[in-house]
Chain A
Amino acid sequence: MKKLPIEKIDMFFQILSKEYPIYLPVDNKSKVAEFTKYEDGKEWSEQLNTVRSAKDFFFPQVENMMRFETDGKKIEVYDMYEEKEDFIIFGVRACDVRSFSILDSVYLAEPVDSFYKNRRDHGIVISMACTRPNTTCFCENFSIDPTNPEGDVTAWRTNEAVYFQANNDKGEKVLSKVARLLVEDSNEKVQEQKKKTKEILNRLPFHNLDLSYFKEENTMEIFQSKLWETMSESCLGCGTCTFVCPTCQCYDIREYNTGNGIERFRCWDSCMYSDFTKMAHGNPRKSQVERFRQRFMHKLVYAPTNNFGVYGCVGCGRCVEKCPVSMNIIKVIKTLEEK
């Protein structure tokens, strides 16, 4: 294991930032952590998590895809795809790292989404093990170990250092750039920290949810449950849950007239919105009951049906924190499972 004394962390960022754009959690003026491009003076925020997930790096909120120019009857299409340069995302938590593989199962399935793949191919993920998981955390239910995150490089914070381990060639390459800052050390300190973290994890209120009810054969029973009506009653349809969710991947395709051609872009969308499924002949999901149900059915039943049992949730807890009416996936799981 490679050890970086904590006082050298800024040098670590400085050296790497000469080679790659490097993004890391930085507190904004409101003390909210956001992934921010490193430059001199930026300080790594060790808050538990960023307010927005890391999905932006691979599936940006808005992405231009093509441009059209029209001239009388003629149309020209210009592809706006551009090969990206390598970049590093530092400090990604285990939940967000797992979300990438869930996004992959959609975007890298045939036909491969080339815009997504481009970013994914060039993104280097340095994950950071959690040390202070919060009461809203429940990633362990999805077989995620927050003390052992995935990624190209895994990092662990101890009291006096950050420890690194490369998980593949991409990771090796990055660590080789900062080799002179790193010293070889045993994993003793990391193991100690993991043990402390695990003790906290075991005390978390939602670390042991029963998900066994949420499987393909119960699809119709869960779908037809009367409980959706009461659970969705308070839902405002604001879509905050989908926007902060690291695995929500639905998008809209829209156009913008720049005054000098039309740009067609994709942007995040939400199944919680009334016009998500609205067609000229009507809307199959007429009220918030159906839209609310769709979001949770997708995460808890449809996603695992299509993706080898992998739920469309990583337990990051952002929706639990951010829902303005305190309705969330944990309540949905518990309510349905207890029936």
Chain B
Amino acid sequence: MNHETLIPMIGVITNIKQETPDVKTFQIINREGKKPFAHMPGQCGMVSIPGVGEAMFSITSSPTLTEYLEFSIKACGKLTDALFELEEGDEITVRGPYGNFFPVEDALKGKDLLFIAGGIGLAPLHSVINYVRDKKNEYGNIQVVYGSRSVEDLVRYDEITEEWMKDENMKVHLTIDNKQDGWDGHVGFIPDFVKELKPDLSKTVLICGPPIMIKYTLAGLKELGFQDTQIYTTMELRMKCGVGKCGRCNIGSKYVCKDGPVFRFDELDVLPDEY
């Protein structure tokens, strides 16, 4: 361990998968060929290309995957665009893990879980979903509602159809925003879809997606009778340090990088809504 958390270690990209037109999944190991650091589901890592910049990304892979770290990243800025130019074998820097994690060790234990994800919002939830799948004796059944703009924009589509949908402990509901040739699945926005599905009120909910999707889905869940105390989300704010010092991700008395990124909705209710 370095004396200073801000100084990163070298990561080697071993595999790049084009998930959608604007999402790629990067597999990262260290120079010794090992996973750069251990993490818990929902935690984040700082990824950087020296000379371009550094940013926080949620770790997409499950902690149960011990060979490498995976980040599913959407190209939407300077650093992410540069990451998209990289090839297998290229080096980057990584540091972490940062933040808290979904309460897989206590509150989620034994619970039936409902995951609701929109677009790239699947990335952080993917880590928990596979963690729970790998430890299925410790949790109840899994329901996933996942939606995107189009079929092409569904991240991890192969894994969802080949593995998740074939898992008898799992129920996966996909939706896309608009009708599309060759798609016989659900069409429509996630908040409405969740209401139609009328999930059992005993479930614990984990939700991640664009702010507008979270807002309307949350309202729908509450209409159905879900309580804030059974719904978790993970937040995104600009970060530089990752350890609650640079001040950027401060909301109320919390720092998202350190006190979050995972929050239960009753915790968010008492914070200023600056996210």
- Could you list which residues of chain A lie within 8 angstroms of chain B, going by C-beta atoms? 65-66, 68, 70, 73-77, 79, 81, 106-107, 109, 111, 113-115, 216, 219-220, 223, 249-253, 255, 257, 262, 264, 266, 269, 271, 276-281, 284-285, 290, 294, 297-298, 301-302, 305-306
Contacts and interface: CB of A to CB of B under 8 A. Distances in A.
A251 B253 contact: no
Contact of A79 (B7, B50, B92): B7
Interface string B225-265: 00000000000111011011111101011000000000000
A75 B93 contact: yes
Contact of A290 (B53, B80, B93, B274): B274
B170 interface: no
A264 B238 contact: no
Nearest to B274: A284
B10 A77 contact: yes
Contacts of B54: 253, 264
B3 interface: yes
B247 A278 contact: no
B237 A279 contact: yes
Interface in B1-36: 2-10
B5 A111 contact: yes
A249 B247 contact: yes
Contact of B90 (A73, A77, A284): A73
B250 A294 contact: yes
Contact of B77 (A109, A253, A280): A280
Interface of B: 2-10, 50-54, 76-77, 80, 89-93, 210-211, 236-238, 240-241, 243-248, 250, 252-253, 270, 272, 274-275
B246 A252 contact: yes
B81 to A, nearest CB: 10
Contacts of A255: 50-53
A302 B274 contact: no
B4 A79 contact: yes
A81 B7 CA distance: 10
A12 to B, nearest CB: 36
Contacts of A220: 270, 272
A277 B237 contact: yes
B7 A77 contact: yes
A73 B13 CA distance: 10
B10 A280 contact: no
Give the 8 A-B residue pairs with the shortest CB-CB distance, closest first.
Answer: A250-B247, A68-B50, A280-B77, A305-B253, A280-B76, A114-B4, A75-B91, A302-B253
Given A66-B6, A251-B247, 7 more contacts: A76-B10, A113-B4, A250-B248, A253-B241, A257-B51, A276-B238, A284-B275
A271 B7 contact: no
B238 A253 contact: no
B76 A109 contact: no
14 contacts: A70-B50, A75-B10, A75-B93, A77-B50, A79-B4, A219-B272, A251-B241, A251-B246, A277-B237, A278-B238, A279-B236, A280-B80, A301-B253, A305-B252
Contact of A277 (B5, B91, B245, B248): B248
Given A68-B51, A75-B91, A269 B250 contact: no
Contacts of B248: 250, 269, 276-277
B256 to A, nearest CB: 10
B4 A277 contact: no
Question: Chain B contact residues: over half helix, strand or loop, or mixed?
Answer: loop
Dominant secondary structure of chain A at its interface with chain B: mixed
Of listed B76, B93, B247, residue having the most chain A CB within 10 A: B247
B272 A253 contact: no
Contacts of B238: 276-279
Given A70-B50, A75-B10, A77-B93, A253 B240 contact: yes
Residue with the greatest number of chain A CB neighbours at <10 A, chosen from B6, B52, B77: B6
Given A65-B4, A262-B51, A216 B253 contact: yes
Contacts of A68: 50-51, 93
A301 B210 CA distance: 29
Contacts of B5: 111
A114 to B, nearest CB: 4
B246 A250 contact: yes
B272 A223 contact: yes
Nearest to B76: A280
B140 to A, nearest CB: 33
B258 to A, nearest CB: 9
Most B CB contacts (10 A, CB to CB) among A75, A250, A257, A277 go to A75
A251 B240 contact: yes
Nearest to B242: A111
Nearest to B86: A73
Nearest to B249: A277
B253 A107 contact: no
Contact of B245 (A106, A264, A290, A306): A106
Contacts of B270: 219-220
A211 B128 CA distance: 45
B50 A262 contact: yes
B14 to A, nearest CB: 12
Contacts of A249: 245, 247
Contacts of B243: 111
A116 to B, nearest CB: 9
Contacts of B4: 65, 79, 81, 113-115
B274 A285 contact: yes
